Amino acid sequence: MQMKSKEKVGRRYSSRSVLPVVLAAGMLLLFLFILVSFFFAPEAGASFCPSIGCLRWKLGHPFFGAGDPSVELVRELRKAFVGDQDGHGGPVVVDQTSVDAAAESLDGLIAEMATTTSDYNQHMDVKTFVHKAKAMLLKMEHNVKKARLQGLIYRQLASIGIPKSMHCLTLLLADEYTLNSLARSSLPLPEYSSRLTNDSYIHIALLTNNVLAAAVVVSSTLASSTSRENLVFHIVTDKKTYTAMHSWFSLNPILPAIIEVKGLHHFDWPAHVNALVMETVEEIHRSSLAHHQLARVNEEYGRLETLNPNAFSLMNYLRIHLPELFPKLKRVIFLDDDVVVQRDLTDLLNFELNGNVNGAVSAGVIDDEGYQQCPGKEYGDYLNFSNPIISSPLLGLESQKCAWLGGMNVFDLQAWRRSNITQTYRHWLRLNRESGFHLWRMGAQPPSLIAFDGKVQLIDSSWHLSGLGRRIPEPQLLESAAVIHFSGPRKPWLEIAIPELLVFWKAHVNHSNEFIRTCKVME
């Protein structure tokens, strides 16, 4: 009888005695909680008490020992966190499953205890309780560590400069997408979605995985527009950037204009279209791989890769699939992500293309005698005319002809669909890889020059000023151009940006935005 009673008191608590124990444990845990939250708080720094293991000597403090009424509880707590009193055996090991299943907070644990004691025969095992408490503390510690680690990552990234601040921005926005339902709200709102395929609107397409650059393109377009309500932006990005991109534009609405953000994984193409696009994607991968292999043995190829990383970015090539990306549209204005718009783009939409596919600005100018001069780039700057395939009369290309500029084009998608342009482009991509990249240096523009040859309508040169970041154009040209294009290597978001030009871009970065501030963008 006596044994039984002792065992009962020793091993189990009846419902009558559970409450005070829970309360006492609550007090202890509250103390533990304060300890944990104080010593693990990010502000206190990792140096003070970095782990549960550090709590060991704190729990060895006499406060937990003599004179405490819940002797067994204390013993179990001590065993759980420190090990046996006599020094045999280490602390109780709590497995990951228990940690995962543990309560998130002390309140949660007490609530759990309350329900367990009411429907678990009104009895509770002290060991179970302590085990759960430890699992909870481990979980809390893990969460605090995780949060602190994330804080550290963001701070670290923010401190190294602009490109890192952009990584920081992408990470924060992607995080926001998971945490904040507002960041996941549908883009555009369902009531506007019919505009996405309505040709009465001005459709602007942007293929990019650079959130900040996309934000600048969109803001500058809006700022210079006289009819925002007619603008429909279409942003296509890769799967990895999708959530961050979506977050940004959900949290920064642009009404009365609307915007659609799509990841490449969202396109629901018919099988034959899907196969077509996948073939291009695979060709780009094959080309990049082949180029990397050449770069390993040939310094010249390696230098190209460091100088022009864009040449290896899939997003840069996918513009050749605009008709597939926007199957229901007749006309789109295509913008690169390194442009700033300074004038209303409405007139571009009504521009007469005379049956051509691509409206583009020429890299040349007509001089006073009516001759075409090429202060910009000629075909010969892009393509290797020493190669018989390129100089073949069958192809009919002239090395001295002025190239047209990519990055601000208006495309007639219907005329494009009737043409062979996409197939021709893909054919040449393969040919260049097979020739060991002897036809042109890897890049998206040279095969475009071949594929669109004869289908380009030149438009007034004031529409597009290219080459920023390679050179500094005349101030009056900079002021008057409808679209300025940082096509040179010194991109405005890089630390190597040219300060005189940076101001034109930076003016469209929203410095009161909390994400921009947290990541120290452009400070």
Instruction: Tell whether residue 178 is a contact of ligand NAG (CB under 6 A).
Output: no
Instruction: Tell whether residue 420 is a contact of ligand NAG (CB under 6 A).
Output: yes
**Closest-CA residue to 175 (of 157, 189, 193):** 157
CA distances in angstroms from 370 to 44, 373, 375, 376, 398, listed in the order given: 74, 9, 15, 17, 19
Measured from the CB atom, is 122 or 194 closer to ligand NAG?
194
Q: Report DSSP letters for 288-333, one per residue.
A: HHHHHHHHHH-HHHHHHHHH-GGGG-HHHHGGGGHHHHSTT-SEEE
Cα(376)–Cα(470) distance, integer angstroms: 12
Measured from the CB atom, is 98 or 387 closer to ligand NAG?
387
Range 232-291, binding ligand NAG (CB under 6 A) = 252
Q: Among 56, 75, 438, 455, which residue sits at the site for ligand NAG (rule: CB under 6 A)? A: 438
- 38-52 burial string, b = 16+ CB within 10 Å, else e? ebbeeeeeeeebeeb
Least separation in angstroms between CB 350 and ligand NAG? 15
Least separation in angstroms between CB 365 and ligand NAG? 28
Measured from the CB atom, is 118 or 386 closer to ligand NAG?
386
Q: Among 181, 306, 350, 512, which residue sits at the site for ligand NAG (rule: CB under 6 A)? A: 512
Least separation in angstroms between CB 421 and ligand NAG? 9
Least separation in angstroms between CB 345 and ligand NAG? 18
Amino acid at 479: E
Measured from the CB atom, is 17 or 518 closer to ligand NAG?
518
Least separation in angstroms between CB 272 and ligand NAG? 16
Please, which residues have CB within 8 angstroms of residue 202's CB and are 6 or more apart in sequence? 230, 231, 232, 333, 345, 346, 349
Amino acid at 40: F
| Range in contact with ligand NAG (rule: CB under 6 A) among 74-82, 109-117, 453-461, 510-518 | 510-518
| Range in contact with ligand NAG (rule: CB under 6 A) among 269-277, 316-324, 351-359, 508-516 | 508-516
| Range in contact with ligand NAG (rule: CB under 6 A) among 19-27, 146-154, 192-200, 354-362 | 192-200
Total length of the chain: 523
Number of residues binding to ligand NAG, judged by CB under 6 A: 13
Place of tokens 């430890």: 134
Measured from the CB atom, is 263 or 380 closer to ligand NAG?
380
Cα(72)–Cα(70) distance, integer angstroms: 6
Least separation in angstroms between CB 153 and ligand NAG? 22
Instruction: Tell whether residue 220 is a contact of ligand NAG (CB under 6 A).
Output: no
Instruction: Tell whether residue 310 is a contact of ligand NAG (CB under 6 A).
Output: no
Range 327-386, binding ligand NAG (CB under 6 A) = 384, 386
H runs (alpha helix) in 370-498:
379-382, 388-391, 413-418, 421-434, 445-451, 475-480
Instruction: Tell whether residue 387 is a contact of ligand NAG (CB under 6 A).
Output: yes
**Closest-CA residue to 126 (of 52, 69, 70, 61):** 70
Measured from the CB atom, is 438 or 506 closer to ligand NAG?
438
Q: Among 159, 198, 227, 480, which residue sits at the site for ligand NAG (rule: CB under 6 A)? A: 198
Least separation in angstroms between CB 222 and ligand NAG? 9
Instruction: Tell whether residue 513 is a contact of ligand NAG (CB under 6 A).
Output: yes
Q: Among 143, 194, 298, 414, which residue sits at the site for ligand NAG (rule: CB under 6 A)? A: 194
**Cβ proximity of 294 and 266 under 8 Å:** no
Measured from the CB atom, is 198 or 462 closer to ligand NAG?
198
Cα(80)–Cα(134) distance, integer angstroms: 7
Q: Among 193, 510, 518, 522, which residue sits at the site for ligand NAG (rule: CB under 6 A)? A: 510
Q: Among 400, 423, 462, 480, which residue sits at the site for ligand NAG (rule: CB under 6 A)? A: 423
Please, which contacts does 344-350 make with residues 24 or more away whose CB atoms are closer than 8 Å? 344/224, 344/225, 344/226, 344/227, 345/202, 345/204, 345/221, 345/224, 345/225, 345/482, 346/202, 346/225, 346/226, 346/227, 346/230, 348/410, 348/459, 348/463, 349/202, 349/410
* Run of H or E residues at 359: strand 358-361
Chain contacts with ligand NAG (rule: CB under 6 A): 194, 198, 200, 252, 384, 386-387, 420, 423, 438, 510, 512-513
